[in-house]
Amino acid sequence: MLKEILNIPVSQLEPNQGQLIGVPTNPRTITKDKFNLLVKSLRNDPEILHLRELLVFPYNRDGSSPVYIVLGGNMRLEAAKVLNMVSLPCKVLSPDSPVEKLKALVQKDNISFGQFDFDLLANEWDELELNEWGIEFPSNWDEPIDSGQHNNKGLNSGHEIKIVFESLKDFDKVKELIQDVISPFDGVSIN
């Protein structure tokens, strides 16, 4: 299936627009804001292209020099054009790859099977960086929650925070301060 990995001139790369018989046009779209984030991402970290190459299929029309149809990475190709990149690393599929396999790869390249743990993101990652990288947060991710769901403070049913005092001298004052901090969260209390 995989023939080779090549650095291919951008001028020889074409977005998937249904040129291959049996392989429909690339079904993915991107908003202008997300596209701008992608351009910024490739400008700041171009090495990502070498870590996740474009997936291409060689296509020769009418005996002319071959071009490569981008089956995976159409948005990255467009962002690279904006950045005036000359060539891109590509995984070249074998010309004898079955059409059904090519169709499957077009879709599977864009599927994300995992999901974000927003509790972990909120507590261990910088929200501004995540936004700059294009991570989308659910519209209600910072609202009060029902038992078992996550919120932006990492508090949910079943989590327990223990504070051990060596002396009871300031316990009531500290307890009052902590209660003021957590009072906006339904179902959270100090015992």
pLDDT of amino acid 113: 77
Residues in contact with 191: Cβ distance below 8 Å, sequence separation at least 6, in sequence order: none
Give which of 85, 95, 92, 102 is closest to 49, Cα–Cα.
85
pLDDT of amino acid 155: 46
Distance CA 97, CA 57 (A): 9
What phi and psi, each to the nearest 5 degrees, are found at residue 57?
-125, 130
Amino acid at site 158: G
Distance CA 139, CA 161 (A): 27
Cβ atoms within 10 Å, residue 184? 9
Instruction: Write down the residue that tokens 């060689």 correspond to.
Output: 58
Residue 91, SS3 per DSSP: strand
- Eight-class DSSP state of 15: E
In the chain the domains, ranked by start, together with CATH numbers, are: 2-108 (3.90.1530.10), 118-182 (no CATH)
Digit-by-digit pLDDT tens for the chain (191 residues) are: 778 899 999 999 999 998 889 998 888 889 999 999 999 999 999 999 999 999 999 998 776 778 999 999 999 999 999 999 999 999 999 999 999 999 988 888 877 778 888 888 888 888 888 888 778 777 776 665 554 554 444 444 455 566 666 666 666 666 676 666 666 555 555 55
pTM of the model as a whole = 0.68
8 - beta bridge partners?
A: 88
Q: Tokens at residue 149, please? A: 């769901």
Distance CA 72, CA 57 (A): 10
